[in-house]
Structure 1
Amino acid sequence: MRALFPGSFDPVTQGHQDILRRAALLFDEVVVCVMFNANKTGRFPIPERLDRLRAAATDLSNVTVDSHTGGLLVDYCGRAGIDVVIRGVRGVQDLDYEMPMARMNHELAGVETFFIAADPDLAHISSTLVTATGRLGHAPG
């Protein structure tokens, strides 16, 4: 079964890498995809994010890296023959955010969402915090 792990990955964090590695153990193929989000201003250009994802997945033979800049996530899934979306969740706040999208993806296209709970040691890491601390000379994730 093919699964999609979408995100902005701006930047790729240890938390993203953990979810990707665990998903690669569960699915025949995982497509990790940089998605354009009109509500977010990108810190890193998409080509750089793709390069970082490829580097993170070099030892994962069933992982491919792609990007999608137009249309809905379910449109990408339909074109790519993907029936499952992977989402990492750090806590209740993430789940509250993800549930309406998961329901809509199912209603629109029958795409299921598979939630993977974040490793507790990495659950505090977010792209926003990594960027903010990086600006101050620190690198937590």
Structure 2
Amino acid sequence: MRIGVCPGSFDPVTNGHLDIFSRASKMFDLLIVAVFHNPNKTPLFTMQERVEMLNQATKDIPNIKVDSFSGLLNDYVRRQNSTFIVRGLRALSDFEYEFQRALLIKKIDPAMETIFMMTSSEYSFISSSGIKELAKFGGTISGLVPECLEEKIIKRIREKS
């Protein structure tokens, strides 16, 4: 069974993320979307909320499993019986950052392969931080996040503002 792992904070999940998940799911028998606990960030949603939101947003993609983890990515990927990491890219700046991370993972675990996928151009400007800023100041996030999560995201952002 070919298993891919797509890690991220997904705080909140965007339509750009869903684009990557949908396309990457066609490359693997199972795609694990893994919410990473990043101790350097203060998330808008708890880990459990993000897992629940991802489950709701990806319910129509049959070979996706949503999970969460903390610690080293390569250790997590190994525990999932995989050696494939899927990373979505929006711009050249994403590539520079992700390329360095991929090289580090390759150095500590030579069997690991990182697959870079460019997001579709219609989503290339969308970021979780941009969504939060837009909603905070009353802008519309319709079409930028999964429709089933739009109200929940707006409500949380406005509560925190």
TM above 0.5:
yes
Compute the displacement of 1:114 (Å). 0.3
Spell out, residue by residue over 1:34-84, the C-alpha distance to the aligned partner (whole angstroms, 9 max, x if none).
001122111111111111110111111111000002x20011011111110
TM-score, structure 2 as length reference: 0.84
Match of 1:111 in 2: 112
Q: Following the alignment from structure 1 to structure 2, what is the Cα–Cα distance between the partners of residues 117 and 107?
A: 24
Q: How many Å apart are 1:112 and its aligned residue?
A: 0.5
Residue deviations 1:85-113, cap 9 Å, x none? 00000111000000111011112122110
Equivalenced residues, count: 140
Classify the secondary structure of the residue corresponding to 1:5: strand
**AA matched with 2:49:** E
Distance 2:135 2:51 in 1: 20
Task: Describe how 1:116-135 pairs up with structure 2 within 5 A.
Answer: 116-135=117-136
Any stretches of 5+ residues in structure 1 without a counterpart? none
Give 2:75's aligned residue: 75
CA–CA separation in structure 2 for the residues paired with 1:32 and 1:136: 30
Query: What TM-score do the two structures reach when normalised by structure 1?
Result: 0.95
Partner of 1:90: 90
Q: Measure how far apart 1:5 and its partner are.
A: 0.4
The structure 1 segments of at least 4 consecutive aligned residues displaced by more than 4 Å after TM superposition are: none
Q: Residue in 1 aligned with 2:47? A: 46
CA RMSD, Structure 1 to Structure 2 (Å): 1.0
Aligned to 1:102: 102
Determine the C-alpha separation between the residues in 2 that align with 1:36 and 1:46.
7
Deviation at 1:136, TM superposition (A): 2.0
Amino acid aligned to 1:40:
K
Mapped partners of 1:119, 1:136: distance in 2: 26
Task: Give me the whole-angstrom Cα distance separating, in 1, the residues matched to 2:118 and 2:53.
Answer: 23
1:121 to partner: Cα distance: 0.8
